[in-house]
Amino acid sequence: MSLVNKESLVWNRLRSGEESALKALYLEFFGNLINYGNRMTVQHELVEDSVQESFVEIWRLRETLSPTDSPKNYLICVFRRILIKKLQSKKADFSEEILLSEADSSADFLNGFIDLENQSEIQKKLHKAMDQLSSRQKEAIYLKFDQGLEYEDICKAMDLQYQSVRNLISTGIQRLREQLSSWIIFMCLLSTFSVVSAF
């Protein structure tokens, strides 16, 4: 909690025009934005350019910014908007051929989970189930559970209604739950079977 609070004080310093506050936000959230961007597209230069523009933009608008307890949420919104705009205009420049392959890579949100060496079967199953979710579901779940955004902030970032964000996340979680419960039933059967066969 105290971290978040520190951030909102930094945000206030930015609003009053302190460049050091901008740098503090940059150092703190650079990784978050790059991480997020690299899941949206494989064109890493576009991601870096968008990060740069995001910070220039909040500096330009510093006097009109309102107080927030999470500068990160604000940055994520601005960053996503800029990146998507870049991806769209880039697509328009290309020939149809490239456009098709581009459309694929940028329309599919990359989960990119940690592959633990001794990954359990159930984890593999859950990851597989996660990869089958729609791109928007993946993005919403990523924003909620990796970046720690609240529903309201995901709405703002993804430009969606509150209910649709909830639906995206809860149907996603529902799928994972189905995987998990079938696994648990399977394990129960297996253990009863081995007990029976031991006799």
Partner 1 sequence: MKKNYHTYQVSDFIEDKDFMNWLAHPDSTSSKEFYEVISSNKDTLQKAENAKAILLSLQYKNLNKSRNKDKIWSSIQNDISTTKGKSRRLWPLIAVAAASIGFILYFTLFRPEIIIEKSQLAEHRLIRLPDDSFVTLNADSEIQYDKTSFAKKRRIQLKGEAYFQVKKGNPFSVETAQGEVKVIGTSFNIYSRNDIMNVSCMIGKVIVQFINQQNAYTLNAGMSVSNANNTITKSNFNIEEHKFWRDGYFYYNNESLVQVMEELKRQYNIKTLNYTNNLLHYKYSGFFKKDNLNEAIESVFLPLKLNATFENGILSIKE
Candidate list 100, 103, 107, 184; residue touching partner 1; CB under 8 A: 184
Candidate list 34, 65, 84, 160; residue touching partner 1; CB under 8 A: 34
Does 167 interact with partner 1 (rule: CB under 8 A)?
no
Q: Which of 81, 43, 101 is nearest to 157 (CA)?
A: 81
Q: Which of 89, 63, 68 is nearest to 25 (CA)?
A: 68
Q: How many CA atoms lie within 13 A of 120 on its CB side?
A: 6
DSSP code of residue 132: T
- Residues 112-141, one symbol each (x = binds partner 1 by CB under 8 A, - = not), give xxxx------xx--xx--x----------x
Going by C-beta distance under 8 Å and a sequence separation of 6 or more, which residues neighbour residue 70? 4, 7, 8, 153
Contact between 182 and 174 (Cβ < 8 Å): no
Does 38 interact with partner 1 (rule: CB under 8 A)?
yes
Distances (CA, A) of 144 to 59, 77, 149, 158: 26, 14, 5, 12
> Smallest distance from the beta carbon of 105 to partner 1, in angstroms?
14
In terms of CB distance, is 100 or 192 closer to partner 1?
A: 192
> Smallest distance from the beta carbon of 77 to partner 1, in angstroms?
18
DSSP code of residue 69: S
Q: Restricting to residues 76-105, which ones interact with partner 1 according to CB under 8 A?
A: none
In terms of CB distance, is 22 or 77 closer to partner 1?
A: 22
Tell me which stretch binds partner 1 (CB under 8 A): 81-89, 94-102, 175-183, 190-198.
175-183
DSSP code of residue 42: S
Q: How many residues sit in the footprint of partner 1 (CB under 8 A)?
A: 50
In terms of CB distance, is 163 or 170 closer to partner 1?
A: 170
Q: Restricting to residues 51-80, which ones interact with partner 1 according to CB under 8 A?
A: 51-52, 55-56, 59-60, 69
Candidate list 28, 146, 156, 164; residue touching partner 1; CB under 8 A: 146
